[in-house]
Amino acid sequence: MARRYPHVKFITMSPGATTGTEGFNTLPLFKQYIMKSMMQVMLWFNKVHTVEIGAKRYLQGLYNSDFESGLFYASQKGLTGRLCDQSLLFPDLNSEQYQENAYNAIQRFL
């Protein structure tokens, strides 16, 4: 989309692993308790972050000119922490052929 519409900023941003969401609420109560408890422990060890930090990532994508259009940003290492262009870790994300294949597949469903 970024190549097709260069005047529009297209960024894919991962919020990272966040606590404070309702992601586990569809699980049975015991599993909800276990998963939410585990997330709290992971927060204490800085392995996940709060939902506010996850939301801040979206705002950075919108308002920080350092984030380039057409890229996917997520944690550089692990589930939280510094953001980076994921094509540095997964070069296939830069494949124009893969991108075109994905675009064409989506168009078949629209």
Per-residue pLDDT of the chain in tens (110 residues, 90 and over written 9): 999 999 999 999 999 999 988 889 999 999 999 999 999 999 999 999 999 999 999 999 999 999 999 999 999 999 999 999 999 999 999 999 999 999 999 999 99
pLDDT of 25: 93
pLDDT of 5: 95
pLDDT of 56: 96
Distance CA 14, CA 89 (A): 14
Query: For residue 102, how many C-alpha atoms fall within 13 Å in the half-sphere facing its CB?
Result: 9
The DSSP output letter for 68 is P
Distance CA 69, CA 60 (A): 13
pLDDT of 20: 87
pLDDT of 98: 95
Q: Where are the domains of the chain?
A: 11-18+49-109
Pairing of strands 11-13, 71-75: parallel
What is the token pair recorded at 54?
A: 């996850």
